[in-house]
A and B are shown apart, each in its own frame.
With several copies, the nearest count.
Chain A
């Protein structure tokens, strides 16, 4: 795994806080993986929150690409949709959707791609297509979107997904995208990293969570990489920036 996506646990501990939510912990943990110059392919929701938080705190030079064609977007508030006007007006360059996928993502210009999912397996494969059988699904999900090619073309993939045995499954009902480039999975309970063996391993637990909590919320026999760190909780500065961003 390239160094610059290793979770950064060097945040000064004296500024840590305790009044944060699991959601905030996820955004902060994801933001810490981004650095000045990191080119991120960002979707709406947590990835966008994390990337914008990084841009407002330690990584003002992080480059945000939205699949709507906005390269280097610098929104002042969190976009509600991937096509918000502010993403376009603050972008360094605005291009077509075919171009963003071909010249920018497929060409290997993206360092970090974020994905969410309904299901994830131990290999980092994800499902955002259907729960149940494809031809008569229990739940029809929105579908692939950009996931297959983000998963194939971003140098590193980060998955953000709340922990539960329904989401962290032994086997995805449908493989929407493959796990070959998944490096980190950030959940509301901890952080998983891709191990040498190609299987996700628990690397840190968020404050207040135990390894057993995480294993209980995981639908497969989760490997644990000793020693499991405790995720550094959000600092006061991170929390303030995050809450500013969300309130804007």
Chain B
């Protein structure tokens, strides 16, 4: 029986995320693999091309510590809060290093992942027409319908070296099940050369559920058990979104020193996600006291 290795997250990141890789940590508000992002920071990966439709706080962190040389994205913000200040600082002032950007629309990014998952060299859509994105993003071209003559936007397939997602469950063979808002995660996994999945728990058997995506073990390179591994994002059925954290991130990220100190304490100063969550809980308790 082909089984996917069940590895500690540190080992999975060490094995599958390399300097210079193109890395997609996908998640659409729900199921964002924050813990994996933190582990990439702990292991000081460099020169990554980060890919994601909706880079949010974890990408702000990866960019802020200088892991990324390049960002491929369609919307970079702190949802419901505002800007990503580390992302802005990198683009506006090159701190801590310049960040090249390749910018698409959501529909374009989705088409690129679909093309990657489908083994096609490009995806097409009715999009981008009349926008200035066309002038600034060389990976937007056109293709002509051979039947109607209509000109459509063409975008190249995304094929990350490694995609990382968070899911609710895996079974002991490494089959993965996630449910609820599934975003573009299936496509991101299938488009990638390798895939790491962090899960809330391992179960003996995956019970079929409504609105579930099941990834067979043989398309997953490693599974790591990381309870609450999406925090401050959430996993339906396991946790709630920590909206306060997203709000609290704004002032931290506005200031380079505050940001670095936060990372040093919570990420570099902890050995794993359980340690990070414990540090956050201690602070909360102190603040409430």
Contact = CB atoms under 8 A, between A and B. Distances in A.
Is A–B contact present in the complex under a CB 8 A cutoff?
yes
Interface of A: 36-37, 39, 44-45, 60-61, 63, 67-72, 80-85, 87-88, 92-94, 96-98, 101-103, 105-109, 129, 134, 136-149, 152-153, 174-178, 180
A61 B236 CA distance: 27
A37 B105 contact: no
A144 B105 contact: yes
Interface in B55-107: 73-77, 79-80, 83-84, 87-88, 91-92, 103-107
Interface stretch (B118-126, B141-149, B249-257, B258-266): B118-126
B165 interface: no
A60 B1 contact: yes
Contacts of B84: 142
Contacts of B180: 85, 88, 94
Interface in B234-257: 234, 236, 240-241, 243
B30 interface: yes
Chain B interface extent, by class: 35 or more
Interface stretch (B36-44, B212-220, B274-282): B212-220
A63 B74 contact: no
A148 B103 CA distance: 12
B186 interface: yes
B110 A97 contact: yes
B198 to A, nearest CB: 18
Contacts of B190: 103, 107
Contacts of A143: 73-77, 103
B276 to A, nearest CB: 21
Of B87, B91, B110, B132, most A-chain CB atoms within 10 Å: B132
B107 A149 contact: yes
Contacts, number: 198
Nearest to B104: A144
Contact of B243 (A72, A80, A146): A80
Contacts of B243: 80-81
B91 to A, nearest CB: 4
A148 B133 contact: yes
B248 to A, nearest CB: 14
16 contacts: A81-B80, A85-B30, A93-B214, A94-B181, A97-B53, A98-B114, A102-B120, A140-B88, A142-B76, A144-B106, A144-B133, A145-B74, A146-B105, A148-B105, A148-B129, A177-B131
Contacts of B75: 142-146
Contacts of B126: 106, 149, 152-153
B73 to A, nearest CB: 7
A245 B286 CA distance: 33
B206 to A, nearest CB: 8
A61 B128 CA distance: 32
Given A83-B183, A143-B75, A177-B131, 8 more contacts: A83-B181, A92-B214, A93-B214, A137-B91, A142-B76, A143-B103, A144-B106, A175-B132
B12 interface: no
A201 B278 CA distance: 56
B231 to A, nearest CB: 14
Contact of B175 (A87, A92, A138): A92
Given A68-B30, A146-B106, A37 B187 contact: no
Contacts of A101: 106-107, 110-111, 125
A176 B218 contact: no
